[in-house]
């Protein structure tokens, strides 16, 4: 087991993954439906098409 200070995780990761982008801001999307398929966010759309059902009034 490796013990290290939690505040050093970013420095540790930057050292061992020098090509990783640590300065950009990202949005993390997750699926709460227990769907195990991968969901890809593209420039203009997604890899899965879903239309929200219309509510009956």
CA dist., res. 56 & res. 21, Å (int): 45
Distances in Å between the alpha carbon of 15 and those of 10, 22, 23, 39?
A: 9, 11, 14, 29
Rounded to two decimals, the pTM is 0.31
Give the model's pLDDT for residue 35.
Answer: 65
The stretch 35-57 carries a mean pLDDT of 67
CA dist., res. 50 & res. 53, Å (int): 9
The stretch 42-57 carries a mean pLDDT of 67
Confidence of residue 43 (pLDDT cuts 50, 70, 90): confident
Q: Say if residue 3's pLDDT is above 70.
A: yes
DSSP-based three-state secondary structure for 1: coil
């Amino acid at each position: 087991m490796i013990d290290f200070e939690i505040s050093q995780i970013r420095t540790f990761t930057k050292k061992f993954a020098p090509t990783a982008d640590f300065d950009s801001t990202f949005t993390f999307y997750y699926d709460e439906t227990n769907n195990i398929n991968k969901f890809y966010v593209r420039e203009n759309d997604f890899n899965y098409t879903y239309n929200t059902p219309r509510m009956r009034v």
